[in-house]
Structure 1
Amino acid sequence: MIHFADYHAHFYFDPDEAEEAGALCAAMKEALGVAMGRVHIRPVGPHPRGSCQMTVPAARIGEALEWIMAHRGRFTVFAHGNSGNDLADHTAHVMWLGPSETLDLSQFGAA
Structure 2
Amino acid sequence: MQLPASFTRLALFVSTAFSGLVPTSTPSAASAKSMSTSPASSTNDASRPAVKWPEPITSYDVHVYWLPSSKKQRAEAVAMYRKAQQLFPHLLFGHIHDRPVGPHPYCMYEIDIHKAEDFSRFVPWVALNHGSLSVLIHPHSGDMVKDHTEYALWLGEKVPLDVGMLQEYQDYLTRRGEL
Q: TM-score, normalised by structure 1?
A: 0.88
Moved more, 65-74 or 20-29: 20-29
Gaps of 5+ in 2: 1-53, 169-179
Over the residues paired in the alignment, what is the CA RMSD in angstroms? 1.7
Is 2:105 the partner of 1:48?
yes
Instruction: Within 5 Å, give how 1:3-14 maps onto structure 2.
Output: 3-14=56-67
Q: Which residue identity is paired with 2:84?
A: M
Which entry has the higher C-alpha Rg, 1 or 2? Answer: 2
- Measured in 2, the distance between the counterparts of 1:58 and 1:93 equals 18
Count of aligned positions: 110
**Aligned-pair distance for 1:97?**
0.5
Runs (4+) of structure 1 moved beyond 6 Å?
A: none
TM-score (norm 2): 0.57
Identity %: 28
How far apart in 2 are the matches of 1:23 and 1:39? 12
Q: Which has the higher contact order (CA 8 A, sep 6+)?
A: 1
Identify the match of residue 91 of structure 1 among 149, 153, 157.
149
User: Equivalents in 2 of 1:14, 1:95: separation in Å?
Assistant: 19
Query: Structure 1: which 5+ residue stretches go unaligned?
Result: none
Aligned-partner Cα distance in 2 for 1:2–1:92: 16
2:124 matched residue in structure 1? 66
